[in-house]
Structure 1
């Protein structure tokens, strides 16, 4: 069965299948599809998850050992198999065919592939996968469909924009779904539900503020204390919403923790960065940050971020801007602050 990422939600509501393949080069859609499958599987009791990323050194016998262990203990598990090259090789081809032929009720298998060329599509392993799994395509959104895609995302967060404003947004993101999703989330953080004006959308997208909120995490990650302090003071002076700042800071902290977990599991740094979906332009900064910031410090930073969120929501007392400053200083100076 082959479906688009848009059709996945309806398929999951009907029946959770034992084998899913996500195929395509649109990173955002692939990430969202994988998250939807994993979340749905967890709701059905598949709480354990193991990730295997295939590279030229990958030992396919590890997969068989994992399957045997899973059968032995009878636990409900998620097998997350990632093949970034789309070429499993002879041994991998046989292993994939075996996976298709020996599906079990206690395992949800998720295989992630890039876009596959036509020649590879004729191979036996791919044809077997095509016949045995729910194949979810994550292809780029055509320009003609992008406006409708953006409007659907805005509808989910209860926001609407006029057609000319929507076209302005389409032109600014230039078909980059990750950039489009970032702008859509930014609108949710900046403005309440309802109709958004052209001025509101323009100000958010063009980021006309003197201090750019999205340069704040870079200052934090590069341990530039002075720059972090200066940008934060500028954002405060311009009335930038604290939820947007907090969200922007916590995302890279969580990513660094994922990288640490991968390194602890024995993965090389380059692979850990790739698996954590760190963009090429950010890899150098993130690689330096993960070496500088231990996981225990990052965990404390997330706890601190949670306390700031409570202050923002009015559940707890405190000075929001001072806490945002202390959060940054925690990671730019590697000092521990008591809260």
Structure 2
């Protein structure tokens, strides 16, 4: 039913039921890549079970091409196939043309005109500007709106424990705190380590020694080393670590997820500065602690706002490449394009904010 705002966990649980009703329009909103992808994966799985055999993915900026929405929602399958259309607006700023196109799509959904189509609109977490925009109000009034929760650094140990319990494992408070420090508050990194623990150890309690051995003995190169090198402006060191990670078989989504985490934090702080706020006052709220907080702030002083906006789009383009979709102006190899993103983030041009 239009206008629903289900709890995130309940949304995923309900979609897992065999007879889960599917709606014509969903909005999945949030800045945490892992949780957003989990919600989207749950929707994809439900659609597959109910005969949605076609999936179309659009990543759109204010420049469009917004006509692609109408083309994909009006096309009729000769074989009666159902379609899931995913529309991602990485910046949450569709512009006038895009906003009108999204509002028109929502109106068509409300009128029952999206036959055999389910649309998932993927957005960053709505700030005051987005939530007050006319297009956003129109869309969310007609959509099932799912907002991913914010997991603060203080909440992360409990979140890790909950994820461990899914694989019938658990750990004491000291062990959970150690994992939290090691992943620097990053959910995607925590998720990867939790999966690793599930593969390496049996069900039951995990000791601190076991966890340390599993997490420290992963590779010569570390994604956090790469992140720190980028934020220090040391592009050559960052590139060396990236190539090492690739050679050692590290999963590209894990590396990209960490970079996206840094980029999202930079974008949030840059927006705050644009609006006249002191970004230093927001670092703790974002879960940034020493030394990461100062590294992020230094990078904020290094890169102009326009370049940080470009990093958001660049990261999303690499995600598309990894999933097998082309991206205009990008190389075909996602690892090579990742190297370009690393050097772009490590540039030493000074922000004029």
TM-score, length of structure 1 as denominator length: 0.64
Question: Of the candidates 147, 158, 173, which is equivalent to residue 137 of structure 1?
Answer: 147
1:151-300 to structure 2, matched below 5 A, reads: 151-207=161-217, 211=220, 222=243, 248=250, 258-259=321-322, 261-263=324-326, 267-269=328-330, 283-284=338-339
* Partner of residue 23, structure 1: 29
Distance in 2, matches of 1:85 and 1:99, equals 19
Cα separation, partners in 2 of 1:251 and 1:201, compared to 1, 3 Å: same
Q: Using the TM superposition, give the Cα deviation of residue 30 of structure 1 relative to its aligned residue in structure 2, in angstroms.
A: 0.9
* Partner of residue 102, structure 2: 96
Q: Using the TM superposition, give the Cα deviation of residue 135 of structure 1 relative to its aligned residue in structure 2, in angstroms.
A: 1.1
Distance in 1, matches of 2:153 and 2:88, equals 29
What 5-or-longer segments of structure 2 have no aligned partner?
226-238, 255-317, 344-353
SS of residue paired to 1:97: helix
* Partner of residue 8, structure 2: 5
Cα separation, partners in 2 of 1:70 and 1:152, compared to 1, 3 Å: farther
Matched, 1:115 2:118: no
Q: Using the TM superposition, give the Cα deviation of residue 221 of structure 1 relative to its aligned residue in structure 2, in angstroms.
A: 8.4
Contact 1:23 1:138 in 2 (8 A): yes
Distance in 2, matches of 1:210 and 1:130, equals 44
Pick the structure with more helix per residue. Answer: 1
Distance in 2, matches of 1:211 and 1:187, equals 19
Cα separation, partners in 2 of 1:151 and 1:70, compared to 1, 3 Å: farther
Cα separation, partners in 2 of 1:268 and 1:43, compared to 1, 3 Å: farther
Distance in 1, matches of 2:11 and 2:84, equals 18
Distance in 2, matches of 1:155 and 1:260, equals 30
Cα separation, partners in 2 of 1:268 and 1:285, compared to 1, 3 Å: closer
Q: Using the TM superposition, give the Cα deviation of residue 181 of structure 1 relative to its aligned residue in structure 2, in angstroms.
A: 0.8
Question: Of the candidates 125, 136, 153, which is equivalent to residue 126 of structure 1?
Answer: 136
Q: How many residues align?
A: 257
* Partner of residue 70, structure 1: 76
1:249-270 deviations in whole A, cap 9, x for unaligned? 6979xx899448323xx63317
SS of residue paired to 2:84: strand
1:14-39 deviations in whole A, cap 9, x for unaligned? 53222111111111111111111111
SS of residue paired to 1:49: strand
Cα separation, partners in 2 of 1:67 and 1:105, compared to 1, 3 Å: closer
What 5-or-longer segments of structure 1 have no aligned partner?
232-244, 289-339
Distance in 1, matches of 2:333 and 2:137, equals 30
